[in-house]
Amino acid sequence: MISRSSIALAALLSTVSFGALETAQAHEFSSFYVFGDSLSDAGTYYVVIDGQLQSVRFTVNPGQVWDMRVGEHYGFDVSPYLAIDTVNGTSTVVGGNNYAQGGACVDSGYAIPKCLAYKYNTLGETQQLEAYLDSTGGVARPNALYSMWAGANDIFTQAILLDLGVISEEKAIEHVVAAANQHVENIHTLSKAGARYIIVPNLPDISKAPVTGVLPEGPFFSAAVTAYNATLYKDLRHLGGSNIIFVDDYALVNEVIANPHMYGFTNVTDRACQQEFSITCTTNTLVAPNAQNDYLFADVVHPTPAGHALLAEYIESIIDAPGLIGMLAESPIYVGRGIYRTLDTRIGTGTPKGFQLYTNIDYSTYSLDPTRDHSGSDGSATAGYVGLEYGFGNGISVGALLSFASGSYNFSALSGGYDADMFNGTIYANARFGGAFAQLSGTIGSIDYNSIQRQFALGASLRTDMGNTSGVYYGARLATGYDFTFGQATLTPLAQLTYQQATVDGYAETAGNSSAMSFGNQLRELFYVTLGGQASYAFVVSGVTIRPNVQASWNYDFLNQDRSVTAGLLTAPVTFAMPVYQPGRSWTNLAAGLTVEAANGLSCNFTVGEQLGQDQVSSAYVNGGIVYKF
């Protein structure tokens, strides 16, 4: 005899009676495609509600499911591929980018019996993927974002069979494992077709959902989810690659259930809808006012819009994380240029024989403006320099410079930040012959990144994941020029070649929660030419030489480096690589300064300047110092 609980769960899967029920986010993605089941369905089914045939979702209608929110974050509308009319049982291709369909199993052909929702020609995940690839000639759009999330209905199907007593638990688990294997094979198919960014969530612990009040198979649900997720993990790890964005929904839901008030929920055990199945649930049929926001579950298994919103925030935080952490390699480049600003005070000085001791302070700011395609950052650093130079009296001098810089930086949209300290050592040589001069320098240093914070909303909570790492800075520059003197005025054309490199060691965040991630090593390189000139004018007041100057230069980076950062959840079997911010390859520097030289061997210098003309980038600085000859 078929139990009432089996019939109820079958209704959840198949939506058999829909027709009769009338219950009143650098990354630059080109598009977004979704495959899966009711957890991702953006409105495939049309049912009659309040006397009207409407597109509905498996939540509190008209609320959004997670992928619709993620699509909005990255600038895409998400709409169904199929429209299934449950009144007359017809399905029509409407051509949307969401192929996910409520009731879908992984493969509509492998399970015995087939998933019950195939009454409406529902496509399994395998068939959804085939439909997409058929439309593209078998080639996946490489810059698109994809999601593949299925397997829950395979577990429900086996639970029904187990409840009916026609299958053993051992055989049911075998079928669940087969579904997980096929799911990863589908992911592999999409990957081989060229997809580079595939969201792959695992399954939540179904035994903690209200479904166990409908079908008393709680222990089986727990065992089945464990088997499915373990197989998914093993197969993904074997698959490898760097295009799987693994999402640990299992851990996330457990965190919410363990501490619901932190995330803004008051109920994580009951359903928000009066109906057992949210496909016909609206804000008019809730068990309590505002239940769509206060409850985690809309029905016996599906999330409320608030639950979907939290999941979307979680997924967005994972996808956006490499873009944020990629900013760590940018700040040393701008701080490193303070070394060259200090060395500029030594270039072309025609040092007489003997030693000179000098010290400078440099304060710099920089801002990388965010766009839809990449995260931004801004911050400032203060650096101190101490140098010693020896002149041989023949136009040649050599020197060494030590520097320490400390900076604090923020990610855009209040999404965290970090502190960075740099300790650098530089050696250099100057040469002057007549009006011509040159300087050659080399720098090496260490970078300590402290309190790296990623901050993002999870429901009512603001989560912070933290870590620390280190890096190395390298720099080399050849600077040349020629002084053309016209009385007290000097015009100096300048030409420079500069190489800068910052490496950032990979690291793991320390929070130990569902969102903690690891990040791979980074390498940031520039090799650029600087062409420009300086004009100065010298006059003497009471034995003190005063020399104001202005400078302008144009810079061009030959490398224009494309960079990606590899990342993944600490619980993930795989990592993914995401392109990060790429600044423009050319920019302009403007500066004005003043040098004051006294007869007693003391002199001081002061310069202000800014960087202009580089896409989404601006920076400015103040540099001042004192020199003593002895």
Cα dist. 378→367, 411, 564 in Å? 4, 7, 20
User: What average pLDDT does the segment 398-405 reach?
Assistant: 98
- Asked whether the predicted pLDDT for residue 346 surpasses 60, the reply is yes
> Domain residues of the chain, as ranges?
4-312, 331-629
Instruction: Kindly indicate the confidence band of residue 160, based on its pLDDT and cuts at 50, 70 and 90.
Output: confident
User: What average pLDDT does the segment 121-147 reach?
Assistant: 95
Percent of the chain at pLDDT exceeding 90: 80
pLDDT in tens, 513-540: 999 999 999 999 999 999 999 999 999 9
Do the domains at 4-312 and 331-629 have one common CATH topology? no
Which pLDDT does position 4 carry in this prediction?
A: 38
Query: What backbone phi and psi angles, to 5 degrees, belong to 450?
Result: -120, 145
pLDDT in tens, 7-59: 344 444 433 333 333 322 346 799 999 999 999 999 999 999 988 999 999 99
User: What average pLDDT does the segment 483-497 reach?
Assistant: 97
Angle at alpha carbon of residue 190, lines to 188 and 196, rounded to 5°? 100
Domain 4-312 top-level CATH class = alpha beta
pLDDT in tens, 558-609: 998 999 999 999 999 999 999 998 888 999 999 999 999 988 889 999 999 9
Instruction: Kindly indicate the confidence band of residue 114, based on its pLDDT and cuts at 50, 70 and 90.
Output: low
Which pLDDT does position 587 carry in this prediction?
A: 97
- Asked whether the predicted pLDDT for residue 421 surpasses 50, the reply is yes
- Asked whether the predicted pLDDT for residue 428 surpasses 80, the reply is yes
Asked if 618 and 612 touch (Cβ cutoff 8 Å), the reply is yes
Tokens at 247, concatenated = 């999402």
Instruction: Kindly indicate the confidence band of residue 371, based on its pLDDT and cuts at 50, 70 and 90.
Output: confident
Cα dist. 420→363, 473, 524 in Å? 14, 12, 16
The rounded distance, in Å, linking the Cα atoms of 237 and 240 is: 5
User: Which pTM was predicted?
Assistant: 0.92
Asked if 497 and 478 touch (Cβ cutoff 8 Å), the reply is yes
User: What average pLDDT does the segment 308-323 reach?
Assistant: 97
Q: Which CATH superfamily is domain 331-629 in?
A: Autotransporter beta-domain (2.40.128.130)
What mean pLDDT, rounded, does the chain reach? Answer: 91
